[in-house]
Amino acid sequence: MYKLIDKLEKDHVLSKEEYKKLISGFDSDLSGYLFEKARNTRHRFYGKDVYIRGLIEFTNYCKNDCLYCGIRCGNKNAQRYRLTKDDILLCCKEGYELGFRTFVLQGGEDPYFTDERMTDIIRTIKSDYPDCALTLSLGEKEHESYKAFFDAGADRYLLRHETANPAHYSKLHPPELSWQRRVNCLYDLKAIGYQVGCGFMVGSPYQTADDLAQELIFLKELDPQMVGIGPFIAHHDTPFRNEKSGTMELTLFMLGLIRLTLPDVLLPSTTALGTIHPLGREKGILAGANVVMPNLSPVSVRKKYMLYDNKICTGDEAAECRYCLQTRMKSIGYNVVTSRGDHFQSSKRLRSSKQSVQSIATAEKLTD
Ligand code: 5AD
Ligand code: FES
């Protein structure tokens, strides 16, 4: 088993059977061994920096009925809300003052936010905060919509694929949702030029070690810039109300494997991880994660964006979460940084395209 981790550290890939062996047989000693290698790898690319993203949960209306999710349309007990454009801009203003240079607009699949409304919001945020990156997380859309958002200035897109196994997907979703369509969206987003994030839940109902091994094969193939994972946690108003939660140990182990498989990937230590254990997010960083996503949504709506039970940070002001996380990261020897926090490769490209613009400018001066 230790040899397999050495091999993964060296080659950044294993066979599905090898991944499966690790996932079905790991213990705390093996985890410790993996996490140290995962941390070393993350330090090579990102040092001890932790990137922060300001999460703005701007609508909890959703036309979908995913069986695990607390804001599924079938949940008649959910109190629905939508932020206005002004509300969203106020969140950005507060976030900017707190040092955020990435905003994440996340919402259910809400038809009220048409392409026209979204592109207007995107353009305004990008013109008010040109030094910030804007990430969208709005679910499945047509190519034209993704393209319009990108042209309006959006930089990144998060769309968790939820599971890499189509048969498993159909046990977590109603029949009208298709795994293939979701995965096509991810390839589409990549082709348009977004920095793309996919992701899945750990310990979701019916998930097997085989499925988790398949996740790593899927990630290697898609090669996304970000991967968001967290434990499944039951929500009391969903069909999965009595299902067991995913464990912290397995989530951390998966984080370590992802770090060694995609060495420079942006990997958040998620709120769900912080929900199943008081030090979950710290442990996530120590297992190889390098991003945290504090909440910037107005406190008045926080409790309404309940994807799962007992979600943390729902009573805290944006500033409290920001500084809370900074203290938590400091306590384990890491530093929250104020920067856009681009993916290693993408930021190299951004830097070199800036440099070439500069060198062209210098060359033009010289020839003037
Ligand atoms: N437990 C954990 N994560 C969940 N998500 C939705 N419902 C749950 C749940 N019950 C995750 C999904 C979704 C992301 C926004 O939140 O992976 O893509
Ligand atoms: Fe929200 Fe600690 S991060 S209160």
Atom of ligand 2 nearest to the CA of 320: 4
Q: How much is the pLDDT for 40?
A: 98
Q: Provide the pLDDT confidence category of residue 106 given band limits of 50, 70 and 90.
A: very high
242-288 per-position pLDDT tens digit = 999 999 999 999 999 999 999 999 999 999 999 999 999 999 999 99
pTM of the model: 0.94
- Is 233's C-beta closer than 6 angstroms to any atom of ligand 1? yes
Between the CA of 295 and the centroid of ligand 2 the distance, in Å, is: 8
Summarize the confidence of residues 319-335 as an average pLDDT: 94
Check the CA dihedral 95-96-101-107 and report its sign.
Answer: positive
210-226 per-position pLDDT tens digit = 999 999 999 999 999 99
For residue 125, pLDDT over 60 is answered with yes
Between the CA of 54 and the centroid of ligand 2 the distance, in Å, is: 12
Burial category of 366 from C-beta neighbours within 10 Å (exposed 0-12, middle 13-18, buried 19 and up): exposed
Could you tell me the fold of the domain covering 2-367?
TIM Barrel (3.20.20)
- Return the exposure string of 160-186: e unless at least 16 CB atoms fall within 10 Å of the residue's CB, then b: bbbbbbeebbeebbeeebebeebbebb
Q: Provide the pLDDT confidence category of residue 60 given band limits of 50, 70 and 90.
A: very high
Between the CA of 201 and the centroid of ligand 1 the distance, in Å, is: 7
- Is 71's C-beta closer than 6 angstroms to any atom of ligand 1? no
Between the CA of 101 and the centroid of ligand 1 the distance, in Å, is: 25
Q: How much is the pLDDT for 348?
A: 66
For residue 349, pLDDT over 90 is answered with no
Atom of ligand 1 nearest to the CA of 201: 17
Asked if 95 and 141 count as a contact pair (C-beta separation under 8 A), the reply is no
Q: How much is the pLDDT for 350?
A: 60
3-state DSSP helix/strand/coil % of the chain, to nearest 5: 50, 15, 40
Task: Quickly list H helices, the chain.
Answer: 2-11, 16-25, 28-46, 85-97, 115-128, 143-151, 166-172, 179-192, 209-222, 248-261, 271-276, 280-286, 299-302, 318-331, 344-367
Query: What are the residues whose beta carbons fall under 8 Å from the beta carbon of 263, sequence distance 6 or more?
Result: 12, 41, 44, 45
Question: Which ligand is closest to the CA of 235, given by its number?
Answer: 1
Between the CA of 128 and the centroid of ligand 2 the distance, in Å, is: 27
65-100 per-position pLDDT tens digit = 999 999 999 999 999 999 999 999 999 999 999 999
Q: Provide the pLDDT confidence category of residue 365 given band limits of 50, 70 and 90.
A: very low
Query: What are the residues whose beta carbons fall under 8 Å from the beta carbon of 47, sequence distance 6 or more?
Result: none
Q: How much is the pLDDT for 353?
A: 56
In the structure encoding, which two tokens stand for residue 58, read together?
């701007």
CA dist 83 and 61 (Å) reads: 11
Q: How much is the pLDDT for 357?
A: 41
* Partners of 105 in the β-ladder: 56, 136
Atom of ligand 1 nearest to the CA of 69: 7
Atom of ligand 1 nearest to the CA of 307: 7
Between the CA of 165 and the centroid of ligand 1 the distance, in Å, is: 17
Query: What are the residues whose beta carbons fall under 8 Å from the beta carbon of 358, sequence distance 6 or more?
Result: none
In the structure encoding, which two tokens stand for residue 266, read together?
């942006």
Q: How much is the pLDDT for 283?
A: 98
Residue closest by Cα to atom 16 of ligand 1: 307
Q: Count other C-beta atoms under 10 Å from residue 11's C-beta.
A: 10
Residue to mutate (ligand 1; options 64, 66, 69; most atoms within 8 A of CB): 69
CA dist 329 and 336 (Å) reads: 7
- Is 272's C-beta closer than 6 angstroms to any atom of ligand 1? yes
CA dist 252 and 257 (Å) reads: 9
- Is 235's C-beta closer than 6 angstroms to any atom of ligand 1? yes
For residue 135, pLDDT over 90 is answered with yes
For residue 356, pLDDT over 70 is answered with no
Average pLDDT along the chain: 94
Asked if 107 and 297 count as a contact pair (C-beta separation under 8 A), the reply is no
- Is 259's C-beta closer than 6 angstroms to any atom of ligand 1? no
Domain boundaries in the chain? 2-367
144-177 per-position pLDDT tens digit = 999 999 999 999 999 999 999 999 999 999 999 9
Percent of the chain with pLDDT over 70: 94
Question: Which ligand is closest to the CA of 294, given by its number?
Answer: 2
